[in-house]
Structure 1
């Protein structure tokens, strides 16, 4: 069974000009250990496809087809169940890291949050694991940077922090 299986995914969005078919029948699968690249022209539906995998589409979006993660259907899954999967079983690393990082919270808090929510770690345990993850993704002098804010990192370092959050 594939890790991720998308069949005949169609996504309709409401626009000022009326309904628009953003994605028209895309299908793909991903086995454990495989990497999949989704490429295409600007506006062809790459981002909206990936957002649908995460259950992050606008409430007005109409989704048909099937998205299965380890055999579990995600299309139509209640938000409470999707929250248990999002960040725990499936994550996203945004191209522009400042869209994923909150400027008013420290890096320790942001990397530690999914560890506390999904793995039940206490605050201090989450902080230690966050430090380990920042080291793992190559943040220099990670121990002294845990209490820094996103604007205190370079763009490349912010992307690494996004990767650490996805790993968390």
Structure 2
């Protein structure tokens, strides 16, 4: 069974000028262990497609077609069901790390949140895991930077922190 199957995905967004078809009938399959790149010009629907996989579209968006993750249909699932999957089984690395990270929370708190929510780790155990993840993605002197805030990192380091969050 494929890890991810997207069939005839259509996404309609509401705009001030009426409905706009943001995605028109995309299909793809991703097997376990494979990597898939979605490329295209600006505004062609790449981000909207990925946001639909995560259940992060605006409530006014109309999604039709099928998104099956590990055999489970995601289209039409309620927010509570998506929260059990999002951050636990599916992660996303946002293109712009400064907008993906909360400026008022430390890196340890942000990277540790999915570990506490989905794996039930204590604060102390989550902190240890965050340190291991930051080391894994190449944050220099990670132990002394756990309590730093996003603005205290370079753009490339913030991108690595986003990757650590997705791994968490």
TM-score (structure 1 length as normaliser): 0.99
Could you list the structure 1 runs, at least 4 aligned residues long, displaced by more than 3 angstroms after superposition. Answer: none
What residue is the counterpart of 2:165 in the other structure?
Answer: 165
Deviation at 1:8, TM superposition (A): 0.1
Deviation at 1:37, TM superposition (A): 0.5
- In the alignment, what sits opposite 1:13? 13
Aligned-partner SS, 1:127: helix
Work out the CA distance in 2 between the residues paired with 1:63 and 1:29: 18
**Number of the residue aligned with 2:69:** 69
Unaligned 5+ segments in structure 2 are: none
Deviations 1:9-43 (A, max 9, x none): 00001001101111000000000110000011111
Show the 5 A alignment for 1:41-80: 41-80=41-80
Aligned to 1:88: 88
Cα displacement string for residues 80-119 of structure 1 (whole angstroms, at most 9, x for unaligned residues)? 0100000000010011101110000000000111000000
The 5-angstrom pairing of residues 107-146 of structure 1 reads 107-146=107-146
Give per-residue Cα distances to partners, 1:59-89, cap 9 Å, x unaligned: 0000000000000000001110100000000
Count of aligned residue pairs for this structure pair: 168
Where 1:60 maps in the other structure, the secondary structure is coil
Please give the alpha-carbon distance, in whole angstroms, between the structure 2 residues aligned to 1:100 and 1:61. 21
SS of equivalent to 2:76: coil
TM-score (norm: length of structure 2): 0.99
Looking at structure 2, the residues matched to 18 and 26 of structure 1 have their Cα atoms a distance apart, in angstroms, of 22
The RMSD of aligned alpha carbons is 0.4
Equivalent-residue separation in structure 2 for 1:145 and 1:44 (angstroms) = 38
